[in-house]
Structure 1
Amino acid sequence: MAEPTLPDNLVRLWRLRTGPRLGRPAELDIDRVVDTAVRLADEGGLAAATLPKIAAALSVTPMSLYRHIGSKEELVGLMADAGLGPVPEFATAPWRPALRGWAVAQSAVYRRRPWLAQLPVTGPPRGPNAVSWMDAGLRTLRETGLGWAAKIGVITVVGGYVRHAFVLDRQLSESWDAAQLDEAQALRNYVRELTEVADPARFPDVTALLGSGLFEAIPEPSESADQDFAFGLDLILDGVAAAVER
């Protein structure tokens, strides 16, 4: 019975050799294509990393790229894994600061490469970098006594929170920038407008919130985003701590 062969996209993702290499190295290879795509996305966002633009940057035809990347969809997966990069060094114990460090490291990747958060999630980690991040996340929970299902659940929730928090903050910032408002002014407008339309009898707690003065003391945008991120992450880690305690 013949051994099952790996799918071509996984072979390319892991850069596996499929046969002997004879003669001179090819001028164009998968690493050059993917590195160029990532560089273009870093410089101009996903819209700058189309096949025609990648081909132009490499001085080749767009059709010649398919030999190395398989398809446009596969290129997205290759870019996602390359853009994620290897896991940075951080302490892996105790579990809470370790898991926090894992989350903060992911947040830093999104801030450095915002286009990563725009890519679709198509399944569990498959590439070498993505798998290394999963391995590092699981490692932070090694001594907790949690089962494998719980560990996977924890890193999925934490990773999902990191991505969502980044997307939310970025979208709000872009919306305010488009309206030529800073965060403080945008929130003052929000309180004023909602106070006008929200009936206290129908929305008693929202009315109380609007009158609390909370939105009048907004820190600097970067500080505000960091505080919001840390607060949400602590809530999740408190839940993990309860699961570990049980």
Structure 2
Amino acid sequence: MILYFSATGNCKYVAERIAAAFDDTAVSIEKADTHISLSENEMLGFVTPVNWWELPVLTREFMQNLTINDANVPYSYIVTTYGTTPGCTFADAKKILKGKGIELDAGYSIKMPDNWTPIFDLSDTEKVRQQNEEAEHYIDEVLKHIRERSKGNLMQHKKPLAVKLLTDPFLNAERKTKNFYVEDNCIGCGLCAKRCPVQAIEIRDKKPVWVKERCALCLRCLHHCPKFAIQYGNGKTKQHGQYRNPHTKV
């Protein structure tokens, strides 16, 4: 079983590639039960993005609530998609899962276009296309390692778990929904509210309103808005464009 979280498609696509290679099943953690059963000799995989050098809040919460009928998993791994660094995602996941009686055997990373557009500029479609093309090589390498059941933290540009002491305050600040705003071209379609993974958005008077103090910080609302009316923070998101993985749909 492959459990993934994906806001704009990168992790879903990677999970689908792995599932196809090993005749496995890829399931979004938004739809998966936290109490799962594995068949004999079934591998357990996680595919996740990285937020501020650490696990996204939804991935962490899912792992913290996870129970497995037979905790004797023959092989388990995590794959992190990233723009600059997968951070401490392997060390963090390993610590959480160890408390569940699951030994995380391996960690892999795949560099892909980063949807954090307050920083990353995705307006150059040719550059983004090349990044996705290059990602195929990284995915193929991960498939090879999983097939060989490699072990250890094989992520590129990884960081130690201690980095969370520095990044936690930044992540919590960036998750504040007051950072979002809506431009006048919003048509009130409600897609943002429907797809928000933590139900942080409601449509009121035909406009999205953030009703929770913090959200998952996945930017799914921004990248899926049909009018690109949702923006975040310093205004750079408007310049940097929207992104969705071209090989799958979320």
Give the TM bin, normalised by the shorter chain: under 0.3
TM-score (normalised: structure 2): 0.22
Structure with max Cα Rg = 1
Please identify which structure carries the higher strand content.
2
For CA contacts below 8 A with separation 6 or more, give which structure has more relative contact order: 2
- TM-score relative to the length of structure 1: 0.22
User: Structure 1 or 2: larger helix share?
Assistant: 1
